[in-house]
Amino acid sequence: MWFLLPFAFIMKYLRRRVAKTTNMTDYLRSNVLVTGMSSLPPMLFLSLETVKCLNDMDEEDGDADEQCSGIMLPQGSLTAFLFGVIVV
């Protein structure tokens, strides 16, 4: 705990120094927008695979978490990561 408090102040100081030296609008436009657009095809693929798995699911064999966990877990982790990026 004693290490985290000074570390937080140091990181805050460094973040402010970097923000003053760079143009944030160009950085956001080039990195977030361009990189964000390239992440759409994998997300669309995972979403379509999840819908396909849920449509092909046998209700007698078990519930959706057991049958489609191989595709639902990656989609959930990707969604949680992108939600975290939006929050930050």
Q: Give the model's pLDDT for residue 1.
A: 61
Q: Give the model's pLDDT for residue 65.
A: 75
H/E run at residue 64? helix 64-67
Q: Give the model's pLDDT for residue 84.
A: 76
Q: Give the model's pLDDT for residue 20.
A: 76
Low-confidence stretches of the chain (pLDDT < 50) are none
For residue 32, how far is the Cα from the chain centroid?
A: 12
Give the pTM.
Answer: 0.46
Q: Give the model's pLDDT for residue 14.
A: 83
Q: Which residues of 28-49 are buried (b: 16+ CB within 10 A; e: fewer)?
A: eeeeeeeeeeeeeeeeeebeeb
Q: Give the model's pLDDT for residue 24.
A: 67
